[in-house]
Amino acid sequence: MHQFIKISLLLSAFYCHSVYTEEWFETGNFYQIYPRSFMDSNGDGIGDLNGIKSKLEYLHDLGMDGVWLSPIYKSPNADFGYDISDFRDIHELFGSLDDFDKLVQECNRLGLKLILDFVPNHSSDEHDWFKRSESKESGYEDFYIWRDPKIDEISNIPVPPNNWMSTFRYSAWKWSEVRKQMYYHMFHYKQPDLNYRNPKVVQEMKDVLTYWLDRGVAGFRIDAVPSLFEDESLRDEPRSYRTDCDQFDHCSLQNIYTEDQKETYDMVQQWRKHLDEYSAVKNVSKKVIMVESYAKLDYNMLYYGNESAPGAHFPFNFELIKRANINSTAEDYKSIVEEWLTAMPKGNIANWVLGNHDNHRLASRLGEKRGDLLNFLLQTLPGAAITYQGEELVMSDVYLTWNETVDPQACNSNPTIYESRSRDPARTPFPWDNTKNAGFSTANKTWLPVGNNYKTVNVKAQQEAKDSHLKIFKKLTSIRKKEIFKKGDYLSALSNNKQVYSYKRQYQNEMAIVVLNFGISQEIVNLTELFKEIPSQLEVYVTSLDSGIISGSKIETSKVRIPGSHAIILVKSAAGMIKANILMIFVSSLVYFIFRN
Ligand code: NOJ
């Protein structure tokens, strides 16, 4: 091998070793793709796998490590893919298994890790297992939760066996004419719950995991985990008396018998064991497990498992989604962040989520002005970061009329309340440029309309602008790759008037200070009072859009001026950081080039 190449390889090995912690996902930068809305390659108005493949370079440039796809499997689409009729095949709208294999190859080429959505709680009622179970075929009788109805004493007609409600409203029980029994469905009636007290179901679903591992995926996001088990004796749930839920809503009850049952944590530990054993036997890299759970903090911590029986690598941290709102202060954000860090059992991976396909977009929920500031927070806290597609552009919700609404959760409600239930506003097509359908599709009609502001809020416009949310986001993902953010300590402080939340990330001799002004007016912060041993001057590495502060400029740490709703990262030498990043990009490109040839 040429001498120069040898030296570069050595350098890169050293660099990678010093930059990354043990497993990539410990500080992984994850991007969630909602496949229907990311990129349409065949002009049918719906995104697909080849569309995603054509945009992987974008995600690579964005600085992402992991790409999580919401479900792409065969499905009648009663819940847009979360109702799966074949766990081992791709929906024809998205492509084929061959397209999937090519997507994995392209991810591997770019060093991106592909994560699939594993939906174990339920299947579609059009799944072969359900049809067999409904007709009581031997071996399938107990694949789902079947019960006889009760007979109402007054009317003498059959009624559900208990008061459990579906999260999509109304009773969680549905009558089957075929079996003459009722089945339980936590979500849509076309999503019957699988019975995890049946060992055959447990084994089948482990085999599903193996199937996709064999096709090269790097791990799974696991859907609706708190709902896996239900109280065996079907006790009625007590009323919650919540004023934001009506009598037909799941949240009108305290969900103590349909969520967070103790067997759930063991199931997650079994999945972890299954994945770890797979990696060990096949001698491949560790696979990641991320659990979707909106449970209370102390219940969520149980998903981490323990040393002898590790569970998920992390349960998604939805605390910022659940608890922050447009009026949340610096103090609120600081305590939401630190409650997780304090509650998390030692040695585990923290993670931060600000948006997904089930919630309003962060700009619409938490304030458009705070868009960059919140991305600063997400990218600079210790642990993993999960970004929902479009948040890097600070996209907003798209308003949809009742007639345009397609989300079953909203369609099961009515024109008066649908907006509070609908998830469609955050699921509209991704804006790539200012051409027809924002460059997402050549179709005459896309499955959901493109947002009105796509002429200005799109990737191309933000790539070409001198400054933009996207450019700022890329600076954040690039500094995040530094040791300070991967391995550094986190030490935080609130300004005296509690408007500004700052933290120091420190690793050996390097440090960075993140300053977030959650107030509406300009603040002058004396960082030397808040943090010990910081230099009297620091350099601005990156600042939020239109802050009026110049990147690369030197700032007196005793009087840091920061406008309302803005954020900055200060470092000892911005040029040093940039040089190190350029070196890293050069070395990793070289390594890639050598190995590819
Ligand atoms: C959670 C998913 O994120 C959501 O979109 C889906 O409707 C439910 N689980 C049911 O699978």
CATH 2.60.40.1180 applies to domain 484-580 = yes
Residues 6 or more apart in contact with residue 514 via CB below 8 angstroms: 376, 377, 380, 502, 503, 505, 567, 568, 569
Q: Which residues are catalytic?
A: 223, 292
What predicted TM-score, i.e. pTM, was given to this entire model?
Answer: 0.93
| C-alpha–C-alpha distance, residues 37 and 401, integer Å | 19
Neighbours of 242 (CB within 10 A): 12
- Token couple for 111: 């060093």
* Interatomic CA distance for residues 311 and 314, integer angstroms: 8
Is the C-beta atom of 187 inside 6 A of ligand 1? yes
CB environment 260-297: b (16+ within 10 A), e (fewer): bbeebbebbbebbebbeebeeeeeeebbbbbbbbbbeb
Q: Whose CA is nearest to atom 11 of ligand 1?
A: 82
Q: Which residue ranges make up each domain of the chain?
A: 22-118+199-230+262-471, 128-184, 484-580
Q: Which residue has the tokens 């709208």?
A: 93
Q: Which atom of ligand 1 is nearest to the CA of 83?
A: 11
Q: How far is the CA of 310 from the centre of ligand 1 (A)?
A: 25
CATH for 22-118+199-230+262-471 is: 3.20.20.80
User: What are phi and psi for residue 494, nearest 5 degrees?
Assistant: -110, 145
Residue nearest to atom 2 of ligand 1 (CA): 223
Q: 128-184 in CATH: which number? A: 3.90.400.10
Which of 330, 337, 331 lies closest to 353 in space, CA to CA? 337
Contact call for residues 378 and 30 (beta carbons, < 8 A): no
Q: If you count them, how many residues does the chain have?
A: 597
- Rounded distance from Cα 66 to ligand 1 centre (Å): 20
For 383-396, letters b (16+ CB in 10 Å) and e give: bbbbbbbbbbbbbb
**Residue 321 CB–ligand 1 contact under 6 Å:** no
d(CA 206, CA 210): 6
DSSP β-ladder status, 288-291 and 219-222 = parallel
**DSSP string for 144-159:** B-EEPPEEPTTT--EE
Cα(125) to centroid(ligand 1), Å: 16
Residue nearest to ligand 1 atom 5, measured at CA:
358
Q: What is the pLDDT along the chain (597 residues), one digit of tens a residue?
A: 343 333 333 222 222 233 345 899 999 999 999 999 999 999 999 999 999 999 999 999 999 999 999 999 999 999 999 999 999 999 999 999 999 999 999 999 999 999 999 999 999 999 999 999 999 999 999 999 999 999 998 999 899 999 999 999 999 999 999 999 999 999 999 999 999 999 999 999 999 999 999 999 999 999 999 999 999 999 999 999 999 999 999 999 999 999 999 999 999 999 999 999 999 999 999 999 999 999 999 999 999 999 999 999 999 999 999 999 999 999 999 999 999 999 999 999 999 999 999 999 999 999 999 999 999 999 999 999 999 999 999 999 999 999 999 999 999 999 999 999 999 999 999 999 999 999 999 999 999 999 999 999 999 999 999 999 999 999 999 999 999 999 999 999 999 999 999 999 999 999 999 999 999 999 999 999 999 989 999 999 999 999 999 999 999 999 999 999 999 999 998 776 666 656 665 665 565 555 554
Contact assessment for residue 264 and residue 228, using Cβ atoms and an 8 Å cutoff = yes
Cβ of 79 below 6 Å from ligand 1: yes
Which of 34, 80, 358 is the best mutation target for the ligand 1 pocket, counting ligand atoms within 8 Å of the beta carbon and taking the most? 358
User: Strand 66-69 vs strand 113-118: parallel, antiparallel, or unpaired?
Assistant: parallel
- Indicate which atom in ligand 1 lies nearest the CA of residue 408: 7
